[in-house]
A and B are shown apart, each in its own frame.
Chain A
Amino acid sequence: MKISEEILNNISSLSKIRIDEKIKSDLVKDLESILEMVGEMNKIDTSGIEPMSHPLEEADNLRKDKATKEIKRDEYQKSAPQTDDGFYLTPKVIE
């Protein structure tokens, strides 16, 4: 599997990770070698097999959907890079 410039730019944009020009060629080489190893999967016929997303069949211990009064916004926002009056700040989105 070849990773073209177009694919690399697409996955970089989808994953929101800027890729430094200087490392692009080494990175592509690594990604291609990983995908080549992953390509081994094609040796096996999986028609009619159900995909398995999880090791446990009954992993759905959901809590009761009960409202609580626990609000710790100030505590949680202590780790935020920038907040103002309970809001998270980002650069301007709408001009």
Chain B
Amino acid sequence: MEDLSKLSLIDQINGLKSRKFSSMELTEFYLKKIDQEKALNSFISLNENALKEAKKSDEKIAKNKNSSLEGIPIAHKDIFCIKDQITTCGSKMLENFVSPYSSTVYEKLSNSGTVNLGKTNMDEFAMGSSNETSFFGNVLNPIDPERVPGGSSGGSASAVAANLCSFATGTDTGGSIRQPAAFCGITGIKPTYGRVSRWGMIAFASSLDQGGIFAKNALDAALALENIAGFDEKDSTSINTKVPSFLNEAESKDKEHIVGIPKDIIENIKDDKVKNNFYESLEILKKSGVKVKEIDLKNIQYSLPVYYVIAPAECSANLSRYDGVRFGHRCDNPKDLEDLYERSRAEGFGEEVKKRILIGTYCLSAGYYDAYYIKAQKIRNLIKQSFVNAFKEVSSIMMPTCANVSFKLNSIQNPVEMYEQDIYTIPANLAGLPAISIPSGKIKKLPLGIQFIGNYLEEGNLFNLSNKFQQNSNFHNE
């Protein structure tokens, strides 16, 4: 039998529909592979009902009652709640948390007929760029097991890259889908803020968090994303607008592109190999008829400091819910209420999470609020305006996804050096814009990614551009 795990999502759907193979066979294939690749530590938990779900899908397919993704085995980042299943968010705090309800993203994909293989590993509460902050141990990069898969959605990226699932969900607050997608050589999309419901997706920084997809290529990602996008009355920040067929938009021949090149940013890329890769990628695009225009993105260099005020500030508020009283970890034998709070939180959270809560608390505390939080919000406004102005002239903006290829485990100890991993990905989160990372080449076998940032709600444009690139290159199949 051919290696079914290597087929694209679209080929798998066709294979299932034409009865070339069943969902049971496909699911068994993946489960066996997950078992063989245990050392990657991509999964925190497996769904013991996966085969039952596959059987149900096969029955539906037999009756021609299949939904759009019927029988497709996928994985969910362990930040998406699933009713009656453990959702850890990579933290000791939620090690035993059984969710009483399901996230909208899970519900939608379940209604689309997908089979849930399990929950993927991640940096604790999505705070990290290497997957090393997970309470459940680090994840290995399948391309080089001495290196990190990126983070925070490292488990999902690693699982898709190692063909342990057809596609996977992820979340992106400052780059947590795009950076691991780049490090693992796959496609990852963070849609427009508000495009995908955050209901049941454990909160880190609510004005930045957005759910998205890891897939083998742009077309697969387009099809997967259209199945999770859409208005949800349970999320007050969800955008009430129709979701187009991203797959149709990806394949459309009518779209014209003017790609903006932020000259200052590109000229300042420190690694020559990354810079060369950017220009080589640009040539590939130009060959497919894409127009290019230089643009100026003012104040974008302040994205990192702005992010490291706003994200910790929001995280310090969001994570105050973990009090050791209603759910989550509680310390043994608390002597009074204060002791209960302080020790439960000290024991339940890892070092990186505590650091961010402390920074956020500091920036929001009396006497510092204006100097840090309000200042950051003002610059955030300026950064958004720079993008708004740029999109008057161009249809998308191209940048590298990361400043470097994947690094070795435990090689970055300085927090600021780790935070700098996200310098090219953070701006899209601050402005709330959609952005995609696709593979664009390799440095000594290690993948590099190129990023396209689109205008609000223009995910279809990004998929179309990415598909053009992938039709004229083969990096996504290497």
> Which residues of A approach B to under 8 Å, CB–CB?
3, 7, 10-12, 14-20, 23, 27, 30-31, 33-44, 46, 49-56, 59-63, 72, 75-76, 78-82, 88, 90-93
Contact = CB atoms under 8 A, between A and B. Distances in A.
What DSSP secondary structure best describes chain B's contact surface?
helix
Contact of B100 (A7, A79, A88): A79
24 contacts: A11-B361, A15-B357, A17-B357, A19-B354, A37-B308, A38-B308, A38-B372, A38-B376, A41-B375, A46-B382, A51-B380, A56-B194, A56-B432, A59-B237, A61-B236, A75-B100, A79-B326, A80-B325, A81-B329, A90-B337, A90-B340, A91-B334, A91-B340, A93-B336
A41 B343 CA distance: 34
Contacts of A75: 100
Report, as a range, how many residues of chain B touch the other chain: 35 or more
Contact of A50 (B329, B338, B339, B378): B378
B378 A33 contact: no
Interface in B304-343: 304-306, 308-309, 316, 320, 323-330, 334-343
A91 to B, nearest CB: 5
Given A18-B342, A33-B416, A41 B240 contact: no
A52 B97 contact: no
B100 A31 contact: no
Nearest to B431: A55
Closest 5 CB pairs of A and B: A55-B432, A51-B377, A81-B330, A52-B381, A79-B327
B414 interface: yes
B29 interface: no
Contact of A41 (B302, B345, B419): B302
B308 A78 contact: no
B359 A44 contact: no
B193 interface: yes
Contacts of B316: 15
What DSSP secondary structure best describes chain A's contact surface?
loop
B358 A31 contact: yes
Contacts of B43: none
Contacts of A35: 359, 362
Contacts of B339: 91
Contacts of B359: 31, 34-35
B324 A81 contact: yes
Contact of B377 (A19, A27, A53, A91): A53
Contact of B365 (A11, A17, A27, A40): A11
B236 A20 contact: no
B384 interface: yes
Contacts of B329: 81
B299 interface: yes
Contacts of B345: 15-18
A55 B358 contact: no
A37 B419 contact: yes
B51 interface: no
Given A15-B357, A15-B361, A81-B324, A46 B379 contact: yes
Nearest to B329: A81
A81 B342 CA distance: 16
Nearest to B237: A59
Interface string B185-223: 000000001100000000000010000000000000000
Nearest to B341: A16
A93 B304 CA distance: 42
Given A18-B346, A37-B416, A61-B236, A82 B358 contact: no
A52 B302 contact: no
B233 interface: yes
B374 A51 contact: yes
B386 interface: no
A58 B302 CA distance: 25
Interface in B279-300: 299
A49 B327 CA distance: 41
